[in-house]
Amino acid sequence: MSALPPVLTPPATRPHLAVTSLPKAWYVACTSTELRDKPLARTVLGIPLVVFRSAAGAAALLDRCPHRNVPLSEGKVVNSELECAYHGWRFDGQGACVSVPGLLDTPAGAPARCAVRYPCEEQDGLVWVWCDPDTAPTSKPYVIPGVSDKRYTIARLEMDLPSTLLSALENLLDVPHTAFLHAGLFRSAKVRNRITAKIRRTADGVECQYIGEPRPTGLIGRVLAPGGGIVEHYDRFMMPCIGQVEYKMGESSHIIATQVMTPITDFLTRTYAVLAFRMPIPGAVVRPILEPVIRRILKQDAWVLQKITDNVTRFGGERFTHTDIDLVGPDIWYLLRRAERGELDREAAFSEREVSLEV
């Protein structure tokens, strides 16, 4: 069993990652179904935002009227413009002030009267916001696999996780805990199989491939592959907030669970889970079985993450001991810290290793 490379060994005690340190990225503010005819208040990276449907599509502004500091989310949408509840100032999707009722002497759209705008994109049933209003987006939002593929059935879940972004991501991609916290749903502590994991880290994320893994013994595994066998299993992290688990069994069964994590505050993260799957059994039959199971798993994760947050608060900081089978958590920590410090050397981020473990 290989040892962790020195660069992956974080200090035993460390300060938690401040969410405000990672603004130059896309984060999900809400789902498309939530964004209807009323403005919606959301907090992303600690930033109060108002999201609404403008003439050009989904739009996001700082939730503060430049006139008298009233939350714009208390207003209403009139003719695809956001109207402040206090004096009726209206703003378009670019944040430009297009109307000041009663004003006669100067145009409404003076720069000082404009609201702060955040780039916004609607894609895959999610509304994404680029959280730095002073920079143009350097990429498009992540395309979630399976959503636009008619062969796949889609299930969606949303839940608040009382934890840091790091802990939420690490929890999602941590295999060893599934035999205990989720016993019977994924794996069992009584049935262990020796497998190999190959971990490849780049500047943009981490992928862990599990080789020789028998079908998990829990309910999820039985639904995925009723006849048993060896599964193709990948866990992935994509900078800075996406975790993904993929299982494939032959050509007939395939499931990709993508969770987009939105840090609301340092210790509150909302996950938008999108489950894309295709199986020999019709998706309309499988979805009513899978959805409550996935919700139960997320509730169990939320419970343990709350306990972690409570203890971090009680002891005044985080403390970790890592082993070889903490496969991607140290890599996630390393990449997020590099991003926080603005370190852009792609070659320095690259690493590969192989680990033997029991699951």
* 31 close to 122: Cβ distance less than 8 angstroms: no
Distance between first and last Cα of the chain: 15
Hey, what amino acid is at 274?
V
Tell me what pLDDT residue 51 has. 98
Q: What is the pTM of this model?
A: 0.90
Can you say whether residue 102 is alpha, beta or left, with left for phi > 0 and alpha for psi between -120 and 50 degrees? left
Can you say whether residue 25 is alpha, beta or left, with left for phi > 0 and alpha for psi between -120 and 50 degrees? beta
* 133 close to 118: Cβ distance less than 8 angstroms: yes
Average pLDDT, the chain: 89
What percentage of the chain reaches a pLDDT higher than 90?
A: 64
Helix (H) or strand (E) holding 99: strand 97-99
Q: Residue 1: is its pLDDT beyond 70?
A: no
| Cα 128 from Cα 49, distance rounded (Å) | 12
What would the mean pLDDT of 15-28 be, rounded to a whole number? 84
* 45 close to 22: Cβ distance less than 8 angstroms: yes
| Cα 161 from Cα 264, distance rounded (Å) | 10
Task: Check whether the bond before 141 is cis (ω within 30° of 0).
Answer: no
Q: Is residue 109 very low, low, confident or very high in pLDDT (cuts 50, 70, 90)?
A: confident
Tell me what pLDDT residue 250 has. 75
Model pLDDT for residues 261-306, shown as the tens digit of each residue: 999 999 999 999 999 999 888 889 989 988 998 899 999 999 999 9
* 300 close to 172: Cβ distance less than 8 angstroms: no
Model pLDDT for residues 301-331, shown as the tens digit of each residue: 999 999 999 999 998 888 888 888 899 999 9
Tokens found for residue 39: 């403005």
Please tell me whether residue 338 adopts helix, strand or coil conformation. helix
The mean-pLDDT minimum among 52-66, 118-132, 340-354 falls in: 340-354
Q: Is residue 2 very low, low, confident or very high in pLDDT (cuts 50, 70, 90)?
A: very low
What percentage of the chain reaches a pLDDT higher than 70?
A: 89
Q: Residue 132: is its pLDDT beyond 60?
A: yes
Model pLDDT for residues 230-249, shown as the tens digit of each residue: 788 999 999 999 999 999 88
Model pLDDT for residues 206-232, shown as the tens digit of each residue: 999 999 887 666 666 666 666 666 788
How far is CA 237 from each of CA 110, 214, 259, 287, rounded to the nearest angstrom? 43, 23, 10, 25
| Cα 175 from Cα 180, distance rounded (Å) | 10
Q: Residue 137: is its pLDDT beyond 80?
A: yes
Please tell me whether residue 279 adopts helix, strand or coil conformation. coil
